Structure 1
Amino acid sequence: MALADEITFDEALSEEMAAAADQALMTAETRFAGEQIVARSLGAHVDEARIARFGFWVPELQDARVPSGDIFLEVLRPTEPLDLTRSHQDVTFERIYIPVIRTEVHCFVAVRGMRAGTRDAIGDFYALCWRDAEDGWHRILDPLAISLPFGAMAPAELYDVDAMLGARGDTEYWQALAGETPHKFGPVTNILQIHVPTATGGGTLASLTRQFERLAARIEADLPLEPSDMLFAGYEGVQLLPVEPTTVYETGPDFWEESDGNDTSVTVSLLRPNTTNWGYDNVIAGMATVNPVLLETGRPDELVDLAAVLHNFPGGPKRLVFDVVYGHSDNQGLRVLSGHFFAGPNMYGQNLDYQNPAVRAILLEMQRRKVNFGADGVRVDGAQDFKYWDATAQVLRHDDEYLQSMADIVQDVAGTSYRPWIIFEDGRPWPEEDWELSSTYRSVIESQRDDDVFQWGPLTFAHNTPFLYTFWLGKYWRIRECLNVGSNWISGCSNHDTLRRGTQVSPKLNVNTRLGNTRMEILDKAYDNPAAHTLTYVALPGVPMDFLNAMARASWGFVRNQDDKYGVKVVAEEAISLRWQVDEYSYSIPGNFTRLKALGYETREDLSRFLTFLPALVEVTDYDLEDIARLLNTTEPKLAGPQYTVDSLKEIARAWMDDMHEYCNITHSLGGLDPVQCNFTHDLRRFRAARPWLRDNYGQKDHFSYLEPLVGRTIFTSLRHGPDGEQVYSVIHMEGKETGDLDPLRLGVPGTEGFGWELALASPGIGKDYISGPLILKDSMALVFTRKD
């Protein structure tokens, strides 16, 4: 049957939808309140009668004076089955245009006969289309789509969201939380931060789900945990780096490329999305759904499956935290969204116009729909970037009201209403020059109504370098802040940003060589450090967070292969990471850096020499690619690699990004994990979980200090008192020379006098037979004692 014979326009229902939107905008107390009501009807929905309803916010059509008779819903149905697991396929789609009902800046349409996608079936694709005076056609894509198999720059798939969410495997978990008022999630004990593409060999949400299924099965069967299991064990919270659609290749190929089209059909060359990205280069469109690159099956159900496995975990649920990026859009957002979404350029791309009531409502609706996949918490990236221009005062102001609105959203999963736990990353006044000194990391905490709102703390924010001498003593003033006001901070030094910044530091600085014999060992131990972990999990308040790549001692960096214009510049900025993360042996492994080797960089030394020249030339030529290529070709002796041209430089940049992305996958480091270190960090997590009161700020009887005189080392001491009378005492050698014989229980720390202390934890390097008494402490060693008062 032809598509035109199956699909019909329901004019009466479309009129009803438009009238409801008009009524909301006319009668709501404020324009924003009205737009919030309308935003619920935007995007695509399948109702109980299997009628597809669509709503679009289209102020650009009003700007262009496009008449209603030239606006349509475009419906596309493949004439043969699609396989979303194929790399490439050429598919013919039937096409039909459905009229819409327009009301000012909104368009609505109800359609009968459309096929909605499910886990097992591909649905019809759609977009809004309009025709210009020359009979040229233009698309407006759905920014609120729930399924984008070919990315945010392509038509969306109509998806049966109710069927997806109704089949979730954690319904009992949610129903147990139901009450007369929305359930409010509080903080977890600790967090494992995960970048999905580098967390497993498969690099997808489905493969990550299988990883947790395997771990759950082993725990349920009481089987011993291997070091690779321990990386994922002992965490109450799992925070995914952003899983929304990101940018696409600047110069193509597009994942959806059309040819041979007419009013009734179109042939499309379809590519399975395969970009690599660390997650933060979003285009705002598609924020309500999942990046198709992360979907093994191409179905957004994979995210629901992960939530279910975590919530049903044996021994107690693991909570899922989404990382959302609404503080900016990459410039590619201009390709897919109306200019009304944006308030002008910034260092990342584009600011968003939070003061536009419709934009404000749509962004919050995107967040609501995304979290309804089943997240217990939300981490808001770059909250200091949520700003607006106050024309009266002629200043930029932080939009704290919008941040409060993010925290106020009520979610609904499996019939249970709830409000997630909210975490903000906010380093204001960053990016001002004195931000490291003047930021309190409490701006949002102090402005929000809820007392369980969290922020990233000062030891978690980007520019931390624990592999440089005097780092810990230099940060002591921040540590003192943690003791007094850190209960609502995320703590810990290893995350996606700190590890990336660490690899950009010059190795010529005062590096703590006691951490390892090579730069790779030094960097690995700095971010997976027994002493730092003990400080975070035992001594400091707040909620500890670990980054999976750091805990696995795997590599990490700024991985993004979409750039064309600035790709070479980005590689120049990342070039120094070669010195920190890649040694001759790692480079020589046949499966590593295959693209760069194919371009002529057969050894690490070949690549290192090129990457030594590149950053200098980027700077001296002011990033003139033609000049850079010319100068590279004149070096003596001749550089390895291809003949240098603008095109070959871009090819090298792409090869670097793709090779580094593969190199950062933690599967490469699993065989080298130290069982003793993995056991220790796992024991620390269990120790913290058994003592939730350690999250609280220090009380009057608690003590924290460092041993004096320093004599070439920084040793912290901490004494904490639990509500049940337990004392927890730790001695932590953060950096520097080893001690002579030192008795940790005879250091004169107030409150440690007397007997009854028992050793609870000893870091690697301390003998298993040690119980108490004098010992020699070396860099990165730590001891934890407990006793009942």
Structure 2
Amino acid sequence: MTLSSRIAFDEAAASARARACEQSLMTAPTRFDAEREIARSLGGQIDETGLASFGFWVPELQDQRVPSGDIFLEILSPTEPLDLTRSHQELRFERAFVPVIRTENHCFACVTGMKAGTRAEIGDFYCLVWRDAEDRWHRILDPLAMSLPFGAFAPAELYDVAAMQAARGDTAYWEALKSEAPHKFGPVSNILQVHIPTATASGTIAGLTRQFERLAARVKAGLALEPSEQIFMGYDAVQLLPVEPTTVYEKGPAFWQESNITDESVFVSLLRPDTTNWGYDVVISGMATVNPVLLETGRPDELIDLASVLHSFPGGPKKLVFDVVYGHSDNQGLDALNGHFFAGPNMYGQNLDYQNPAVRAILLEMQRRKVNFGADGVRVDGAQDFKWWDAAAQEMRHDDDYLQLMADLEQEVAGTTYRPWFVFEDGRPWPEEDWELSSSYRSVIEMQRDGDVFQWGPLTFAHNTPFLYTFWLGKYWRIRECLEVGANWISGTSNHDTLRRGTQVSPKMNINTRLGQTRMEILDKAYDNPAVHVLTYVALPGVPMDFLNAMARASWGFIRNQDDRYGVKVVAEEAISLKWQVDEYAYSIPSNFRRLKELGFETRAELARFCEFLPALVEVTEYDLEDIARLLNATDPQLAGPHYSVDALKSVARAWMDDMHDYCNVTHSFGGLDPAQCAFTLGLREFRAARPWLRDNYGPEDHFSYRQPLEGRTLFTALRNGPDGEQVYTVIHMEGKPTPDLDPLRLGVPGTEGFGWKCALRTPAIGPDYLSGPIVLKDSMALVFTRKR
């Protein structure tokens, strides 16, 4: 059956949608209230009767005075089986146009006979099209699409979301939370932060799901866990770096390329999306669904599968936390959304117009649909960037009302209504120059109604460098803040941002060489430091978070291979990471850096020499690629690599990003994991989980200080008192010279007097036979004692 013969326009249903839209606009208390009601009907949806409904917010058609007779819903259906697991395929799509019912700046269409996608079957594709006075066609893509197999810049697939939700494997988990009032999730005890493309060999959501399925099976069977499995265990929650569609290749190729276009059909060359990205370069359009690059099968069901496995984990469910990015859009978003979404450029690309009622409503609806995949918590990226222009005061203001709306949003999964736990990254007044000094990291906490809203704390925000001497004493004033108000902070120094910033530090600075023999060892231990883990998990309040790449001692950086215009500049800024993360041996492994080797950088030394020249030339030429190429070709002795031209420089930049992405995969580091370190950190996480009161701020009987005089070292001591009478006492050597022989229990810390102390935890460098008494503590060593009063 042809597409045109199986589908039919349901004018009555479309008219009813348009009337409902008009009714909302006329009767809702405010325009924003009306737009929130309307937003629920936008995008492509299919009901239980098989009626497919489509709604679009199209103020640009009003701007250009496009008449209703020139606006249509375009439906595209492949004439041959479409395989989303293939790298490339060329198919003919049948094409049909359906009228729309328009009401000012909204358009609605209802269609019978359309095929909706499911896990097992590919559905029909769609978008809105309009015809100009010269009979040229223009497309409007669906920003609220629930399936984008070819990314945010291609037609969307109509998807059966109800069927996907009905098949989820964690229904019992959600039903157990159902009550008359919406369930409210509170904070977790700790978090594992995961970048899906580097977390498993497959780099997909399905691959991560299989990893947790294997862990669950081994735990259920009582089998011993290997170090590569232990680094995933002991966490109460898993936080994914953003899984939304990101930017695409600036100069192509496009993942959906059309030719031989007629009114009845179109020939499409399809590429499986394969960009590499750290997750934060979003275009806003498509935020309700999943980045197809992360989907092994191309089906968004994979995200629900992961939620189901985590929620069904033996020994207790693991929570799932989404990281959402609504504080900015990459400039590519201008090609995916109409101009009314944006409020002008910023350092990342574009500000969003949060004061536009329709934009405000659509962004919240995107969030609602995304979290309904089954997230227990939400982390909001860059909350300090949610701003609006106050024309009366002639200044930018933070949109705290919008942040409150985000936290108030009710979700529904498996018939259970709930509100997720919320975490905000907010460093205001960042990016002002004095932000490190003046940021309180509590702006959202103090303004939100819920007492369990969290923010990233000062030891978790960017620009933390725990491998520099005096770092810990320099941050001591922030540590004191953690003790007093840190209960609602995310704590820990290893995350996607701090590890990236660490690789950008000049090795000429005052590096703590006691952390390792090489730069790689120093960096690895700085962000997987047993003493820092003890500080985070035992001494400090808040919710600890670890980054998987740091715990695996794998590499990490700013990974993005889509840039054409600024790709060389980005690599110049990242080039210093070669000194921190890649040694001669790592580079010599045949599977590592194969693209750069093919371009002529056969050894690390050859690449390192190029990386010395490139940043300097980017600066002195003010990023003139032709000048950079000419100067690189003039070096004596000649640089390794290709003969340099603008195109060659871009090829090197692309090879760098693709090679670094492969190199950062944590599976490459599994063979070098230290069993003692992995077992210790797992035991530390279990210690914290058994004592939830350690999340609380310090009380009057608690103590934290550093031993004085310093005498060339930073030695922290902490005593905490639990509500059940348990005391936890910690001695932590953060940096510097070894101590003389000292007895940790005889340091005169108030509250530690008397007997009954038992050594509960000791860092791997301290033998298991140590129970108490005099000991020499060295850099990164720590002891934890407990007793019941």
TM range (shorter): over 0.9
Note the alpha carbon deviations across 1:641-667, whole angstroms, 9 max, x for none.
000000000000000000000000001
What is aligned with 1:187?
187
For the residues of structure 1 that align with 2:581 and 2:637, how far apart are their CA atoms? 26
Q: Matched residues, percent identical? A: 79
Output the amino acid matched with 2:111: V
Note the alpha carbon deviations across 1:620-660, whole angstroms, 9 max, x for none.
00000000000001001000000000000000000000000
Equivalent residue runs for 1:223-234 within 5 Å: 223-234=223-234
Note the alpha carbon deviations across 1:437-489, whole angstroms, 9 max, x for none.
00000000000000000000000000100000000000000000000000000
SS for the counterpart of 2:331 is coil
Gaps of 5+ in 2: none
For the residues of structure 1 that align with 2:305 and 2:4, how far apart are their CA atoms? 36
What is aligned with 1:282?
282
What is aligned with 1:512?
512
Deviation at 1:768, TM superposition (A): 1.1
Output the amino acid matched with 2:342: F
Equivalent residue runs for 1:218-257 within 5 Å: 218-257=218-257
Equivalent residue runs for 1:146-545 within 5 Å: 146-545=146-545
Note the alpha carbon deviations across 1:273-324, whole angstroms, 9 max, x for none.
0000000000000000000000000000000000000000000000000000
Matched, 1:8 2:31: no
Equivalent residue runs for 1:591-602 within 5 Å: 591-602=591-602
Deviation at 1:358, TM superposition (A): 0.1
What is aligned with 2:49?
49
Output the amino acid matched with 2:785: F
Deviation at 1:376, TM superposition (A): 0.1
SS for the counterpart of 1:216 is helix
Note the alpha carbon deviations across 1:222-262, whole angstroms, 9 max, x for none.
10010011110000010000000000000000000000010
Deviation at 1:756, TM superposition (A): 0.1
Equivalent residue runs for 1:586-625 within 5 Å: 586-625=586-625
For the residues of structure 2 that align with 1:25 and 1:718, how far apart are their CA atoms? 59
Deviation at 1:105, TM superposition (A): 0.3
What is aligned with 2:38?
38
SS for the counterpart of 1:485 is helix
Deviation at 1:742, TM superposition (A): 1.0
What is aligned with 1:106?
106
Note the alpha carbon deviations across 1:54-82, whole angstroms, 9 max, x for none.
00000000001000000000000000000
For the residues of structure 2 that align with 1:452 and 1:582, how far apart are their CA atoms? 41
What is aligned with 2:662?
662
For the residues of structure 1 that align with 2:773 and 2:158, how far apart are their CA atoms? 68
Deviation at 1:373, TM superposition (A): 0.1
Output the amino acid matched with 1:213: E
For the residues of structure 1 that align with 2:273 and 2:742, how far apart are their CA atoms? 58
What is aligned with 2:635?
635
What is aligned with 1:644?
644
Gaps of 5+ in 1: none
Output the amino acid matched with 1:515: L
Note the alpha carbon deviations across 1:687-709, whole angstroms, 9 max, x for none.
00000000000000000000011
Output the amino acid matched with 2:755: F
For the residues of structure 1 that align with 2:658 and 2:665, how far apart are their CA atoms? 11
For the residues of structure 2 that align with 1:528 and 1:18, how far apart are their CA atoms? 57
SS for the counterpart of 1:669 is helix
For the residues of structure 2 that align with 1:693 and 1:222, how far apart are their CA atoms? 29
TM normalised by structure 2 equals 1.00
Deviation at 1:598, TM superposition (A): 0.2
Output the amino acid matched with 2:743: D
Note the alpha carbon deviations across 1:692-734, whole angstroms, 9 max, x for none.
0000000000000000110000010000000000000000000
For the residues of structure 2 that align with 1:614 and 1:742, how far apart are their CA atoms? 51
Output the amino acid matched with 1:242: P
Matched, 1:722 2:722: yes
Deviation at 1:504, TM superposition (A): 0.2
SS for the counterpart of 2:587 is helix
For the residues of structure 2 that align with 1:680 and 1:117, how far apart are their CA atoms? 46
Output the amino acid matched with 1:238: V
For the residues of structure 1 that align with 2:742 and 2:617, how far apart are their CA atoms? 52
Output the amino acid matched with 1:776: V
Deviation at 1:679, TM superposition (A): 0.4
Output the amino acid matched with 1:353: D
For the residues of structure 1 that align with 2:91 and 2:377, how far apart are their CA atoms? 40
What is aligned with 2:20?
20
For the residues of structure 2 that align with 1:185 and 1:101, how far apart are their CA atoms? 41
For the residues of structure 1 that align with 2:742 and 2:290, how far apart are their CA atoms? 54
For the residues of structure 1 that align with 2:776 and 2:223, how far apart are their CA atoms? 36
For the residues of structure 2 that align with 1:336 and 1:286, how far apart are their CA atoms? 9
Equivalent residue runs for 1:660-739 within 5 Å: 660-739=660-739
Note the alpha carbon deviations across 1:581-602, whole angstroms, 9 max, x for none.
0000000000000000000000
Output the amino acid matched with 1:359: V
Deviation at 1:48, TM superposition (A): 1.4
Note the alpha carbon deviations across 1:528-586, whole angstroms, 9 max, x for none.
00000000000000000000000000000000000000000000000000000000000
Deviation at 1:161, TM superposition (A): 0.2
For the residues of structure 2 that align with 1:22 and 1:606, how far apart are their CA atoms? 66
Output the amino acid matched with 1:425: E
Deviation at 1:378, TM superposition (A): 0.2
Output the amino acid matched with 1:233: M
What is aligned with 1:626?
626
What is aligned with 1:81?
81
SS for the counterpart of 2:354 is coil
For the residues of structure 1 that align with 2:247 and 2:364, how far apart are their CA atoms? 21
Deviation at 1:15, TM superposition (A): 0.2
For the residues of structure 1 that align with 2:588 and 2:681, how far apart are their CA atoms? 31
Deviation at 1:167, TM superposition (A): 0.6
TM normalised by structure 1 equals 1.00
Output the amino acid matched with 1:456: W
Note the alpha carbon deviations across 1:112-157, whole angstroms, 9 max, x for none.
0000000000000000000001110000000000000000000000
Deviation at 1:740, TM superposition (A): 1.0
For the residues of structure 2 that align with 1:270 and 1:100, how far apart are their CA atoms? 28
For the residues of structure 2 that align with 1:472 and 1:221, how far apart are their CA atoms? 42
For the residues of structure 2 that align with 1:740 and 1:669, how far apart are their CA atoms? 36
Moved over 6 A (4+): none
For the residues of structure 2 that align with 1:323 and 1:66, how far apart are their CA atoms? 38
What is aligned with 2:743?
743
For the residues of structure 2 that align with 1:114 and 1:505, how far apart are their CA atoms? 55
Note the alpha carbon deviations across 1:419-447, whole angstroms, 9 max, x for none.
00000000000000000000000000000
SS for the counterpart of 2:335 is helix
For the residues of structure 2 that align with 1:229 and 1:574, how far apart are their CA atoms? 30
What is aligned with 2:550?
550
Output the amino acid matched with 1:415: G
